[in-house]
Structure 1
Amino acid sequence: MRSLLPSLDSPLSIAILGAGLMGRLLAVRLARDGHRVQLHEAGGPDAQGSAAHVAAAMLAPLAESAVTEPGVVRMGQHALARWPELLAQLAEPVYLQQEGTLILWHRQDAADAARLQHTLQRTQHAVQGLPALQALDGAGVAALEPAVAGRFHQGLYLPGEGQLDNRQLLAALGATLQQLGVDLHWHSARAPSDFSPGTKDQPDLVLDCRGLGARAHWRQLRGVRGEVVRLHAPGVTLQRPTRLVHPRYPIYIAPKQDHLFVIGATEIESDDLSPASVRSTLELLSAAYAVHPGFAEARILELATQCRPTLPDNLPAVRAAQPRVLEVNGLYRHGFMIAPALLDVVMELLQTGQSPLASRFDLSLQMAS
């Protein structure tokens, strides 16, 4: 890897393509370390074209182990420790909560819940350091989350998991980039082929973090569509992210500040960015109402669709397909949960030419031969 990438031993000129979550994190870190950073983004500073703008930003490695591999779970563990450190360095405050995850189900879905519990227990045996999940009866559910008392008679509590406010974070990263003097190029779509890194008047290094914007270059990428509704529900108080087990539409409800709730579930193999369907919207809202009837009087602030950049194995990858160009992609539905781990892997590669963390995370490092 060292033969393909320049060393960070002295200040470099670095071009970063894509100002979603990964691009912003890398730009802040590299600028703070004294490098000259230019950031190119096809959209505007609000990041509306990125998957990160729509996401619920849950930090739930054990909960997500139901749909991913142990390496991603380890990345999530790493991120839970790293996010407080990263947020403390930003120019603006960002909401971060680590009150665990609550999983609920109705009696008729007990068999699905039992299968999920078995999967989570298997993960705990495979990945060291995860807090033990706790099985709850009705009284335990009521004590942990009084707002749903009497409606659910069983549940699972996953301690230590968390969430943050995705849009506050993107804005805080943007403000920090300005504070650090990063050369920001909005509405400036660029590809690695637009640069000749290492030559006169060109950057020393290009980092490609464009997500689905890199499909023409990384042809294995595909979009996985998700639909998310944002509600303002003054009549609902939930203390932590809550997930509902259901055979057709399992949902998550992520409570943010000031009675704002981000609710999602759908995962469709499509890069279609048209508005949400009536069926998906009804299922999301019906499931939310099943968790708490107070959602009936909530106000719909936004119904958004976005596609997550996904590789064939649904796992992230870092590759150097050509000299002085490093690509980070395939964060799928786990962007906020794994981004700090990927940040630290990239920094190891640039600083030493290798990454022990990548091995710990079972992360694919693809290098040109």
Structure 2
Amino acid sequence: MSLPFDSVAILGAGLMGRLMAVTLARSGCKVDVFEAGSADAEGAAARVAAAMLAPLAESAVAPVSVVRMGQHALSRWPELLAPLVQPVFFQREGTLVLWHRQDATEATRLARVLANTGAQVPELAPMQSVDARAIATLEPSLGQRFAQGLFLPGEGQLDNRALLASLLASLEASPRVTLHWQSPRAPSDFTPGAAGQPDWVIDCRGLGARPQWNALRGVRGEVIRVHAPEVSLQRPTRLVHPRYPLYIAPKPGKLFVIGATEIESDDMSPASVRSTLELLSAAYAVHSGFAEARIVEIAAQCRPTLPDNLPALRLPQPRVLQINGLYRHGFMIAPAMLDAALEVLTLGHSPLAKRFGMQTQDT
């Protein structure tokens, strides 16, 4: 990729900031990354995530534009992971959606939604209805516990923390990158294009950008990481429930990420007893082996979200690009946001963003 500029300052070293920095540095750009926190991304929403790449499954709560971005990402992630200096767990073994008999009505409604999404986005692999025997073939450890389910082929996941660590290692190994930790910056701290200044400022601060983008709000999510040697699941599994759509994402080393909660709040306090009990009891209802699991971590974080729950690119002033609003879909849509942003930086506009139904905003 040929760039029409030589240097950038990237604000924020979460998922988008690290992806953007690695990509631009590999294209020959001088990159300075400014992060308010430390190198371990403790304040990033990406650190507290299941990192599922499930565009059809997410269409239960997401519009078609996000589904198309997620489909784009499924093929892009292997390309983005390949040059990193450390390997990152990535799989495309599909998503299994299950329900208990009392929730069959809710499952029927969900199946209609997914079928409608498939009709609008035909490039998605068609969902498959599965019976108890097929479920047992896909996930032998579940036995005959579930009579019916849905299988969504081709969907995937990755290891979010391994990815953040590998992106960091790649940045540290690059002679074109300078990392500034404990160094909060705002776009107003720069005069991009002036002598001695970066050619562009790219703002990837998530909720840290609220002083400049007051439409942003936090949507709280809670996840539990457990070590469960007695549980064998080959792929992300979702449980249909009338109140909370539980997911269980298996990671390497018999680690499982369990989540479901989504609360309209930017409260960053620890997870509540109620939500913790609900998540763990629902996981136990999927697989009894979770009874002997060991809780590794219970974490809460707020995702940066715009009023329409959709991501956006914004050019508030010349040579300043803001990327924000990835909401609960961060890992699923980050490659699409990256590619659209690169088009804005190189072409001045993004055909890809238009194809996804995402307009670049000028203010």
TM, length-normalised to structure 2: 0.98
1:319 aligns with 2:314: yes
2:63 to 69, 77, 82: 69
Aligned residue for 1:121, secondary structure, equals: helix
CA distance in 1, matches of 2:319, 2:292: 54
CA distance in 2, matches of 1:8, 1:324: 17
Q: Which residue does the alignment assign to 1:300? A: 295
CA distance in 1, matches of 2:173, 2:28: 13
1:100 to 87, 94, 97: 94
CA distance in 2, matches of 1:42, 1:316: 22
Could you give the per-residue CA deviations for residues 329-367 of structure 1, whole angstroms, max 9, x where no partner exists?
Answer: 000000000000111111111111121111111113101
Aligned residue for 1:173, secondary structure, equals: helix
Q: Which residue does the alignment assign to 2:249? A: 254
Q: Which residue does the alignment assign to 2:226? A: 231
Could you give the per-residue CA deviations for residues 87-125 of structure 1, whole angstroms, max 9, x where no partner exists?
Answer: 001000000011000000000000000000000000001
Aligned residue for 2:221, secondary structure, equals: strand
Q: Which residue does the alignment assign to 2:28? A: 34
CA RMSD of aligned residues (A): 1.1
CA distance in 1, matches of 2:293, 2:330: 28
C-alpha contact (below 8 Å) 1:8/1:350 kept by paired residues: no
Alignment: residue pair count = 362
C-alpha contact (below 8 Å) 1:308/1:332 kept by paired residues: yes
Q: Which residue does the alignment assign to 1:136? A: 130
1:284 aligns with 2:279: yes
Correspondence list, 1:52-91, <5 A: 52-91=46-85
C-alpha contact (below 8 Å) 2:349/2:360 kept by paired residues: no
For 1:254, the aligned partner's letter is A
Q: Which residue does the alignment assign to 2:180? A: 185
Shift of residue 10, structure 1, vs aligned partner: 4.4
Q: Which residue does the alignment assign to 2:160? A: 166
Q: Which residue does the alignment assign to 2:201? A: 206
Shift of residue 9, structure 1, vs aligned partner: 4.2
CA gap 1:18/1:307 in 2 versus in 1, 3 angstroms: same
CA distance in 2, matches of 1:56, 1:189: 27
For 1:25, the aligned partner's letter is L
C-alpha contact (below 8 Å) 1:345/1:355 kept by paired residues: yes
Aligned residue for 1:339, secondary structure, equals: helix
1:119 to 105, 113, 117: 113
CA distance in 1, matches of 2:138, 2:187: 50
CA distance in 2, matches of 1:243, 1:255: 12
What is the identity percentage for the equivalent residue pairs of Structure 1 and Structure 2?
Answer: 68
For 1:291, the aligned partner's letter is V
For 1:140, the aligned partner's letter is A
Could you give the per-residue CA deviations for residues 66-107 of structure 1, whole angstroms, max 9, x where no partner exists?
Answer: 101111111111100000011001000000011000000000
For 1:334, the aligned partner's letter is H
TM, length-normalised to structure 1: 0.97
Q: Which residue does the alignment assign to 1:359? A: 354
CA distance in 2, matches of 1:116, 1:328: 31
Shift of residue 204, structure 1, vs aligned partner: 1.2
Q: Which residue does the alignment assign to 2:266? A: 271
2:338 to 315, 335, 343: 343
C-alpha contact (below 8 Å) 1:192/1:206 kept by paired residues: yes
1:309 aligns with 2:304: yes
Moved more, 354-363 or 76-85: 354-363
Mind listing any 5+ residue stretches in structure 1 that lack a counterpart?
A: 1-6
For 2:254, the aligned partner's letter is H
Aligned residue for 2:61, secondary structure, equals: coil
Aligned residue for 2:262, secondary structure, equals: coil
CA distance in 1, matches of 2:144, 2:31: 55
Q: Which residue does the alignment assign to 1:3? A: none
For 1:359, the aligned partner's letter is K
The structure showing larger relative contact order (alpha-carbon pairs under 8 Å, at least 6 residues apart) is 1
Q: Which residue does the alignment assign to 1:4? A: none
Aligned residue for 1:336, secondary structure, equals: helix
CA distance in 1, matches of 2:245, 2:29: 45
For 1:185, the aligned partner's letter is H
Shift of residue 64, structure 1, vs aligned partner: 0.3
CA distance in 2, matches of 1:135, 1:128: 17
CA distance in 2, matches of 1:226, 1:253: 14
Shift of residue 11, structure 1, vs aligned partner: 4.4
